[in-house]
Structure 1
C-alpha cells in the first residue's frame, strides 16, 4: 500500500507527516506544526539533534539552578561546534564517528575547551539513551584528541619581590596581597565584607563568592568553599589599617559597592602595569613600549603561589586542601606534586646528611 507524505517548512526547518490518505497526512502535519508553534516538539529518536538539545537543556539543565555562566557554556559549545556538524541529523542516526570528528576538529585547542565539549555531548546523548530515544549512546566512548594543557604557575622570586614592593603604594595593593596571602579566589574576595575579617580570632571567614559573569553574590559552588583562613602576619596590619564598617565591602568600588569582574580586571591591569614599570619596562609617552612581565601572570598565579608556599612550609596535604577550599584532595595534590626546586633540595638534605630533623642519617628514621 502506498503512503502519502506531506512536508512543510517552519522557521527554516522541514517537517513531514505520512499517512494512508492525503487528508490524514495533512491533518497529522497540521497537528505537528501546531505543536511546534506552541513550543512542543515530538520527543523521539526521529527528532533532530537541535530539537533534542533544546528539550534537554530546558528540561534537565535549566531547572537545576545552574549559574548563567554554566548554562551559557552548554549553549556556546553546542551552537559553536556540535550543531553545525550534527544538529540537522535525526537523533537516532548519530553515530560515534560523527561526534569523534567534532572532537578531532578541536585538536591542539586547550584541554579545558575540548573536555567541556565532550562533556556536553556525553551528557545530552546519555540522557537520550536513558530516555530510550536512541538504541545506544554514541558519545559514551569518545576519546580526546591531542590538546594543550594549560598550566597555572607560582610567582618567580623576582615577581614576588616586585609585587610586594608595588603593593605598598598601589591602590589595589591590599587586594593583591590578600590574594597572595590567603589563596582566595578573586570572586571570593569580591564578596568579602569587614564582618568576615575576624581580627579578634585572626581569621577570615569565607562563605560567599561573586558569581563569575554576573552580579550575584551567593554561596560557594561546593561545601569545601566555606572555610576559615588564618590571617598571615604580613597581611594583618594592612587589614587593620583599612578596616571599615562591619557589612561594607573590604574591596569596594568607587561607589562603595562590591566589585564585579570588570572592576577586578581593571584593578589587575593597573597593578600589572605598575609592576611592569617597577621591574624595568620601557615607557615612552606614558605607554609601555617594551614589557618585561610574562604574559601568563594572572591573579590565579597568586592562589597557586599560596598553595606552593604551603607545600614549602611543610603544611600537610589535607590541611592545604581545607585552606584552599578544594572539594577534592587530588586538586591540591596536583599542585603539591609540581616540580619545585627549593622543596626538592630541602628534602634531599634529609637524605644526604646536610639538614633536616634526622640529620640525613637513615638510621635515625
Structure 2
C-alpha cells in the first residue's frame, strides 16, 4: 500500500492507494474537491462538516424549505455549540445526552426534534462507516410539557434586573422582558427600528437560520410596533446607535447568531446564580444552584405577555404586541397565571359578592 500526504490551506491530508497511478489520481481528485469547496467524507472529519454533507445529501431535495430551515436552526442553536468542532468518531453518548439535558424548560416537541436530528445525523454517519455506534441512541429526555413554557417568578425578576444593571446582556434581556421580542428578532434589531422620540420599537425582521441573513419575521403578524418603557428608551439613547447599526452585537462587534445568544445567556444565568448566593470556587459556580434549570430567555418573552394580562390589556391587543397570527396561541400557550392576575380576580369576586350581599340585605329590609 502506497501513501502520500499533502497540505491544503494549512491542513494535511493523507492519501493511500495500491499503485502510483491510482495514488496520483486520488491526490488530484482530492485537491480538486478542496479547491471547489467540496467537503470530503473522511474518518477524521468534524461534526460541523459532516452536518453540511448530511443536509446536502439527505435533506436538501427531500423536505420543504421550512423544514430544512428548522433543521438548520436546531443545529445552530442547540447542537453546534456543543459538538460542532469535535471529530465525528470522537462523539459519545454523553455528549449527545448533555445537549438534550441542557434543554430543560423547552417544550417536549422541541426537545424530541433536537434528539431526532442528532439520531439522524449520526445514523447516517454510522451507515457511511464514520463511526461504529450511534451516540444519539437511547437518550434520556428531560421532563417537559408540550407547547408550554412558564413566566419568570418575582424572585427571578428581581435577580435578573439586578444582574442586568452590570452585565453586557442586560439590555438584551430587558428588551425581551419589556417588549416581548423573540430572540431572533432581537438579533435583527437596528437603530432605525427604534423611534426614541415616540418611544416605539418597530419589529420588521428576524435572523434566518439557513444562511444567517436578515429576513422576514416568523409570520406576517410578527411585523409590529411595540411601546418602549421610558427607562428602557433612555438606555437605548445612551447607546447612541446609528440607523443601520445592530443594537445587540457579539464580542467582536458583529451581528448576533444563535450560538452567540446561547453563550450570552449562559453567562447571564451564571451571574444570576452568583447574585442569588451560589458559591464560586476556582471560577466555577458550585451547586446547589439557586436559579431554576428551566429558566430560558423565552421565559422573559412569556412574562411580557403575562404582564400585559395583569395590566388589563385585552387579549386581542396582547396577540398583536406578541406578534401572534392566531389569538389562540396567545390564550393557550403564552399566557400564564400570575399572582397579580389571581389577586385581581379575587378582588373582583369579593367586590361582586359584597354588592350582592348588600343588595340582598336591602331587599329583606324592604320586605320587613
* Superposition TM-score, scaled by structure 2 size: 0.59
Superposed displacement of residue 57, structure 1: 7.4
Structure 2 unaligned runs (5+)? 1-56, 75-106, 116-142, 360-368
Superposed displacement of residue 68, structure 1: 3.6
Give the whole-Å Cα distance in 2 for the aligned partners of 1:310 and 1:149. 24
Q: Give the corresponding residue for 1:58.
A: 61
Map Cα deviations across residues 43-102 of structure 1 (whole Å, 9 max, x no partner).
xxxxxxxxxxx999737x44xx4364336699xxxxxxxxxxxxxxxxxxxxxxxxxxxx
**Does the 8 A contact of 1:350 with 1:360 survive in 2?**
no
Name which of 190, 193, 198 aligns with 1:193.
190
Give the whole-Å Cα distance in 2 for the aligned partners of 1:71 and 1:166. 33
**Does the 8 A contact of 2:200 with 2:226 survive in 1?**
yes
Q: How does 1:35-54 map to 2 (within 5 A)?
A: none
Give the whole-Å Cα distance in 2 for the aligned partners of 1:115 and 1:286. 34
Q: What secondary structure, in the 3-state scheme, does the structure 1 residue paired with 2:312 have?
A: coil
Q: Give the corresponding residue for 2:355.
A: 361
Superposed displacement of residue 242, structure 1: 1.1
* Superposition TM-score, scaled by structure 1 size: 0.60
Give the whole-Å Cα distance in 1 for the aligned partners of 2:60 and 2:172. 38
Q: What secondary structure, in the 3-state scheme, does the structure 2 residue paired with 1:314 have?
A: coil
Q: What secondary structure, in the 3-state scheme, does the structure 1 residue paired with 2:231 have?
A: coil
Larger Rg: 1
Map Cα deviations across residues 182-233 of structure 1 (whole Å, 9 max, x no partner).
1100000000000001112211110100123641210013110000011023
Give the whole-Å Cα distance in 2 for the aligned partners of 1:232 and 1:161. 17
**Does the 8 A contact of 1:349 with 1:360 survive in 2?**
no
**Does the 8 A contact of 1:208 with 1:218 survive in 2?**
yes
Q: What secondary structure, in the 3-state scheme, does the structure 1 residue paired with 2:157 have?
A: helix
Give the whole-Å Cα distance in 2 for the aligned partners of 1:116 and 1:276. 27
Aligned pairs, how many?
A: 243
For the aligned residue pairs, the C-alpha RMSD in angstroms reads 3.2
Q: Which has the higher contact order (CA 8 A, sep 6+)?
A: 2
Closer/same/farther in 2, CA of residues 359 and 242 from structure 1, 3 Å limit: farther
Give the whole-Å Cα distance in 2 for the aligned partners of 1:293 and 1:231. 28
Closer/same/farther in 2, CA of residues 359 and 313 from structure 1, 3 Å limit: farther
Q: Give the corresponding residue for 1:348.
A: 346
Superposed displacement of residue 235, structure 1: 1.1
Q: Give the corresponding residue for 2:118.
A: none
Closer/same/farther in 2, CA of residues 337 and 171 from structure 1, 3 Å limit: closer
Name which of 220, 225, 229 aligns with 2:222.
225
Closer/same/farther in 2, CA of residues 114 and 295 from structure 1, 3 Å limit: closer
Name which of 138, 141, 145 aligns with 1:149.
145
* 2:167 matches 1:170: yes
Give the whole-Å Cα distance in 1 for the aligned partners of 2:113 and 2:333. 20
Q: Give the corresponding residue for 1:312.
A: 310
Q: What secondary structure, in the 3-state scheme, does the structure 1 residue paired with 2:66 have?
A: coil
Name which of 276, 280, 291 aligns with 1:279.
276
Superposed displacement of residue 334, structure 1: 1.5
Q: What secondary structure, in the 3-state scheme, does the structure 2 residue paired with 1:177 have?
A: helix
Superposed displacement of residue 337, structure 1: 5.5
Give the whole-Å Cα distance in 2 for the aligned partners of 1:221 and 1:344. 32
Q: Give the corresponding residue for 2:331.
A: 333
Q: Give the corresponding residue for 2:235.
A: 238
Give the whole-Å Cα distance in 2 for the aligned partners of 1:337 and 1:73. 25
Q: What secondary structure, in the 3-state scheme, does the structure 1 residue paired with 2:225 have?
A: strand
